Amino acid sequence: MLGVSCDSQHSHRTWSESMGDLQYPLLADFHPHGEMSRAYGLFNDAIGTPKRAIIIVDKGGTVKFRREYAPGTLPTPEEILGELDKL
């Protein structure tokens, strides 16, 4: 599992520490700004930030699940675990 945002590595470290030291890596899609988010069709050019989403990629690199979430909305653990069980 990886977390990705356009924030800097310093921001990720600070946020992770504030959450009790997350146990998964946070990747900075910082420069070029949003390149990875754009590759997945998740960058919102109008406001300059990526959309919130969950993407599950199998070992072969195939996207098996993709869902965008409105700001303030989070997926349920059951939803994501159910998708992982399908792999």
What is the per-residue pLDDT for 36?
94
What is the per-residue pLDDT for 1?
86
C-alpha distances (whole Å) from 61 to each of 13, 54, 64 are 27, 15, 9
Give the residue numbers spanning the domain of 73. 3-85
CATH of the domain at 16: 3.40.30.10
Count of domains forming the chain = 1
What is the DSSP code string of 65-87? EEEEE-TT----HHHHHHHHHT-
Q: Is the pTM of this model over 0.95?
A: no
Report, as ranges of residue numbers, the positions in the chain whose pLDDT lies below 70: none
Cα–Cα distance, 37 to 59 (Å, whole number): 20
